[in-house]
Amino acid sequence: MSIFLRNKLRTFVGATSGLFAYGMYRPDCDRLVKQPLETNAKSDHHAYTLRNRVWTEQELIEKYKTCKNHVEPSKTSDYVMYGTLRFAYNAFNAVTFFDKDDPTPESMRTRLILLESIAGVPPFIMAGYRHFRSLRNLSYDGGRIYTHLEEAENERMHLVTCMQIFEAGALMKGSVFLAQMVATPICWFLCLLKPQWLNRGVGYLEELACETYSLVLTHCHNPEKKLYKAWHDKPAPPVSIDYWMLPKDSTWPDVLRYIYADETHHRDINHTFADLSVTDSNPLLREHKENYERSLSIESNKEVSHCPNEEK
């Protein structure tokens, strides 16, 4: 039996290595994956994406005040999750020589791409877990699948937005590939053990994301910092203007405010789910409905304002 298992393990490792090599070195791997700005502004994006959170200016201001919100660990699993993520965060800062006092645009590119490419993994896995659980138990999910899917897509749209600002080559692509290879099985494993552990871990991960984005926003509004000089007047990517329903003259720092607000929302959602039983219904369904109605109202007002005046 041990020989059989070793052979299977050898086959699995070989296949995985081959897949990784193909992903890294296939003919188009050295192309930049920056997306053309003029071809990604889709006015009908809601036809193929879920309804994302639509933030008001007052909500953005209130969310910015919560950048230091932190759920204190109360269980052993909480301490393990928070300690592991905080250690990884600090280690990454040290290895990359990250300067919190005055980071460069290049250092932030690496952090934002890796952060968003990893952050989109756990909610999608959680949605899959809830989906299979519903099928297996022949029962209603309680409305939580939608919330996880919306979060996963929202993180992916953050990444799409970043890719319209930054350029990423083979090295960055390989880093994302490796990060997903590590994050995906860990997330599935946590779901199988206890889903609330994954929710708590994501909540702490989002706390670190809030810390990162609040730092970025602070520097983007300080004329003496490198990020201000590089980004303060950079136009917002077309996809972000449509996705968050922004004014046409919005800038990249404006977009970062919305991304930051999204991250605070994800933080609070996951900490909420971490305190619920897997059988509890989604307490956020009313919020989804209100957001849907708000986004429809904004779209309707835009359509009315763009209609030409009828001739009398």
Helix (H, G, I), strand (E, B) or coil at 251: strand
What is residue 116's predicted lDDT score, i.e. its pLDDT?
Answer: 92
Enumerate domains of the chain plus CATH numbers: 45-281 (1.20.1260.140)
Predicted local confidence at residue 80, as pLDDT: 95
**What is residue 18's predicted lDDT score, i.e. its pLDDT?**
61
> What is the pLDDT, as a whole number, of residue 9?
63
Most confident residue range from 4-13, 108-117, 293-302: 108-117
> What is the pLDDT, as a whole number, of residue 50?
79
Whether the per-residue pLDDT at 38 is higher than 50: the answer is no
Q: What is the pLDDT of residue 157?
A: 93
pLDDT on residue 147: 94
The identity of residue 289, as a single letter, is: K
State residue 2's pLDDT score.
67
| pLDDT of 28 above 60 | no
Query: Three-class SS of residue 138?
Result: coil
Name the band, by pLDDT with cuts 50, 70 and 90, for residue 15: low
Average pLDDT rounded to a whole number, residues 151-160: 94
What is the chain's mean pLDDT, rounded? 85
The larger pLDDT score, comparing residue 132 to residue 17, is at 132
Tell me what the mean pLDDT of segment 259-275 comes to: 96
Is residue 26 over pLDDT 60?
Answer: no
Which residues are within 8 A (CB) of 278 and not within 5 positions of it... i.e. 6 or more apart?
Answer: 133, 195, 196
Residues 185-226: tens digit of each pLDDT:
999 999 999 999 999 999 999 999 999 999 999 999 999 999
C-alpha span between 176 and 3 (Å, rounded): 34
| Percent share of the chain, pLDDT over 70 | 81
If we measure between CA atoms, which residue out of 174, 158, 155 comes closest to residue 166?
A: 158
- The larger pLDDT score, comparing residue 39 to residue 198, is at 198
Three-class SS of residue 235? strand
Helices (H) then strands (E): counts for the chain:
12, 0
Dihedral sign for Cα 304, 306, 308, 309, please. positive
Give the C-alpha separation, 98 to 101, whole Å.
9
Q: What is the mean pLDDT of residues 143-147?
A: 93
Q: Over 50: is that where the pLDDT of 62 sits?
A: yes
- Residue 290 — very low, low, confident or very high, per pLDDT cuts 50/70/90? confident
What would the two tokens of residue 306 be? Answer: 């763009």
Is 25 a residue whose pLDDT tops 60?
no
